[in-house]
Chains A and B, each alone.
Chain A
Amino acid sequence: MESLVLTIRKHDVAGWLAKLLEGAEVIAPAAGPCGEVVFSRIDSPEQVLWSFENPLSPPKQFVLPQTEPIVKIQLTPQGTEVAPIYDDKRRVLFNVRPCDTKAIAYLTQMFEMEPSDASYLRRAENLTVISLGCTTPCTLGFCVCSDSGPFLTSGYDVQLTDLGEKYLAEIGSEKGQAALSDAMGLFGPATEDEIQQRKTLETEARRCLGEETCHFGSAMRRISTRRVDDALWDKMGNWCLECGGCSFICPTCYCFSVRDRDGDGTWTRCRTWDSCQYASFTMEASGHNPRSQHGERMKRRFFHKVSAQYYLRDGMTGCVGCGRCIQACLGATNMPAVVAAIRKRAWHEL
């Protein structure tokens, strides 16, 4: 698709959002009941926040819900009836940061892999992602280390940039184009100067983010060739509290389990989030557990996210550098800390 770059005046954005709200559920960063920032469904354009620290919970729940009904099971006099459950609601994720936008593209790639998963893909097909470039870098992010920010070159439907008086809107897909079509009158073509301004803002944001702080490359070489000592994994495993928080707040983690909910002749088979850090994740009914040691489970998590084997398969690391695990992990076994420990062959001591 030919790249299309438009602008919209800030006071016209409410009009555009009103149009989006007419045709879809709009989810955006908004103030929660106690003033905290959360991704939530909005009812009016004023609720959308434009200057915010990325919420601790990523927007992945709107495309891969924590508990997602996938099959309806009913016992009838004629026998067992089963039917798939799909969610075809149109949704717009508005003002999503580039790291989270790239994470959703990653998730979609995982579920597109054959055999593809319609429960996820039908939701993803009805989802439009409007990304907001980071002109002011966040505190904990290291997106520059995994090519996931502060701006993206692809993976978004629309990418917005705050130019002061206006927003620049880069259209990245047909879905992005469709998201503007009802409000096209509010948009105008971007000038050369405005496009140049967007580039300057990116350069400035990169300067603020500074040097790379999470060196995936050297950690990848060691993890991929079994050159990380088991003793180091064990040590890191000893720090992890097995809360699973890292998996749940990670925008790219997609491990799941399938459970039958409710009872009495009618059940809903649900997909629920799970975490590879739980001992029960690999526990077999016989009691045998191929990853009974905590260090082995740490190794699993970081092999999936950082190994060359997965990098070659997926075209990216399983980390978008959002920095949420730094905030959430009580045991300090977050991504940059583990990557550093692998590089230095030593865990940091307090």
Chain B
Amino acid sequence: MNSDVFLPRIARIDAVRDETPDTKTFALRFRTPEDSEAFRFLPGQFVELSVFGYGEAPFCIASSPTRPGAFETTIRRVGMLTYALHQLGLGAEVGIRGPFGNGFDVGGARGKNLLFVAGGIGLPPLRSLIRNVMDERDQFRNVTILYGARTPVDLVYKDELKEWETTEGVELHVTVDAALPGWTGNVGIVPVLFAKTTLRPENTIAYVCGPPIMINFVVQDLLLRGFQEESVISTLERMMQCGIGKCNHCAIGHRYVCRDGPVFNFKQIREMVE
């Protein structure tokens, strides 16, 4: 019997970085080395993070398992819990349960071209996999990253985007829905970036994450361009409470986003019956 499914492990805020006016990246380190050692995760998995007194909410892990130590999560301030979290400073304690969910199949992606398509705050879950891929670069073929946000201010990981732009074997295209003074890059929604790159549907896995409407547009576009449903992969977001497939908040049909997902290929998403 798993006796402590609801018991959070204590972690401390090791570093905080402002990404956008309403988004921060927190580096979290477990208080005890035992908890740190026991915390093994895959890109695409998530944690239930407690801000004590405010409760718990699910957040994806944004750092790579290839970099042990503190792990990172990038969080937008949208509700009471995230507002309280944004007030916390270095050394503050939070609770962590997990990792939960299936995560991305990193092994299955080896030897393939990888296409990452992200919108807004949809980049963090993909960043875990992107960084994993960067750390084992020789095992994957072309890496293409297409990223869009509402305005240049809303782009997360600005320093990293610059780094990826100059990394050999990585193709990065960024767009914004609305430009601001000084922006010289692309303007338009994410699918405009497809014209900037060469898609190779036959040996490419596409990872798509962003707001629901963006996912819909991008997936339809990719299917029209010849991608198989099985090789278009997304990570879903739902209200969650338990993380272990019992509370039913994240159920879609008889599938549970927290336990059977959050990573699904588009065929699985289309076949969800409810």
Contacts and interface: CB of A to CB of B under 8 A. Distances in A.
Given A116-B1, A274-B247, A313-B254, A82 B7 contact: yes
Contacts of B79: 285
Contacts of A254: 246, 248
Most-contacted residue by chain A among B3, B10, B238 (CB, 10 A): B3
Contacts of B248: 254-256, 276, 304
A287 B78 CA distance: 9
Contact of B246 (A70, A117, A303): A117
Interface stretch (A15-23, A46-54, A107-115, A171-179): A107-115
A274 B247 CA distance: 9
Contacts of B3: 84, 118
Question: Which size bracket describes the interface of A in this complex?
Answer: 35 or more
A259 B56 CA distance: 8
A281 interface: yes
A329 to B, nearest CB: 20
A300 B253 CA distance: 7
Contacts of B95: 73, 80, 82
A258 B6 contact: yes
Interface string B2-13: 111111101000
B72 interface: no
Interface string A299-327: 11001100101100100000000000000
A226 to B, nearest CB: 6
A257 interface: yes
B246 A82 contact: no
A256 B10 contact: no
Given A281-B249, A282-B239, A80 B93 contact: yes
B195 interface: no
B238 A258 contact: no
A286 interface: yes
Nearest to A118: B3
Contacts of B254: 303, 307, 309-310, 313
Interface in A220-234: 224-226
B6 A303 contact: no
A283 interface: yes
Nearest to B245: A113
A114 B244 CA distance: 8
A275 to B, nearest CB: 10
Question: Which size bracket describes the interface of B in this complex?
Answer: 35 or more
- Overall SS of chain A's interface: mixed
B273 interface: yes
Given A290-B238, A304-B248, A299 B5 contact: no
A125 to B, nearest CB: 9
B247 A73 contact: no
A290 B253 CA distance: 13
B157 to A, nearest CB: 20
B210 to A, nearest CB: 12
Interface string B244-274: 1111110111100000000000000000011
Interface in A257-278: 257-260, 263, 267, 269, 271, 274, 276
A128 to B, nearest CB: 19
A288 interface: yes
B217 interface: no
17 contacts: A70-B6, A71-B7, A71-B8, A82-B8, A121-B1, A254-B248, A255-B247, A256-B242, A260-B52, A263-B53, A284-B238, A284-B239, A285-B81, A290-B238, A300-B251, A307-B273, A309-B273
Interface of B: 1-8, 10, 31, 52-57, 76, 78-79, 81-82, 93, 95, 211-212, 237-239, 241-242, 244-249, 251-254, 273-274
Given A80-B95, A113-B245, A116-B2, 9 more contacts: A80-B52, A111-B246, A119-B6, A257-B247, A269-B55, A285-B57, A288-B211, A307-B273, A313-B254
